[in-house]
Amino acid sequence: MPSILPFDRITTTTITSFDIESIEVILFSSARIRVNLYNSNGDRFDVTYVLMSGSDYTAWGNDDQYILQFVANTLGFTIFVPEPVVPVDPVPIDPVPVDPVPVDPVPVDPEPVDPII
């Protein structure tokens, strides 16, 4: 096997969501937050940690949304809530009146005729 000079191969993965798996709290000081990152297939492909300390830690209080927004801001993400899909009522189609087509009546013999043999 031949040796080569080091070569950097770069792969890009699009992050579409994240969740917080755990938070390690150092009382009155900081919190270390474990964050799972997911791709568009919903597969976890990476784990990272975010440290919250100082005034950010003090401002946290008991608001879980604060933690989510803090993590998103720290990692450069934008949280958005998709607009709900509102079903569209189909446009009613007015039936077009159709005139009946006149049909000639089929002649019917009043009496059966004996076949000629």
46 vs 15: CA distance, rounded Å: 10
Rounded to a whole number of angstroms, the distance between the first and last alpha carbons of the chain is 101
Domain count, the chain: 1
| pLDDT tens sequence for the chain (117 residues) | 888 899 998 989 999 999 999 999 999 999 999 999 999 999 999 999 999 999 999 999 889 999 999 999 999 999 988 888 888 877 777 777 777 777 777 666 666 666 666
**Does residue 48 form part of some domain?**
yes
Which residue range(s) make up the domain with 56?
17-75
Residue 44: inside a domain: yes
Cβ neighbours of residue 109 closer than 8 Å, sequence gap 6 or more: none
pTM for this one?
A: 0.63
Question: Is 35 contained in some domain?
Answer: yes
Q: Is residue 107 part of a domain?
A: no
Q: Is 91 domain-assigned?
A: no
Chain centroid, CA 43 distance in Å: 13
Q: Is residue 112 part of a domain?
A: no
Please spell the DSSP secondary structure of 36-65, one letter per residue: EEE-TTS-EEEEEEEEEEHHHHHHHTT-HH
DSSP state of 29: T
- Whether 53 is covered by a domain: the verdict is yes
Domain annotation covers residue 51: yes
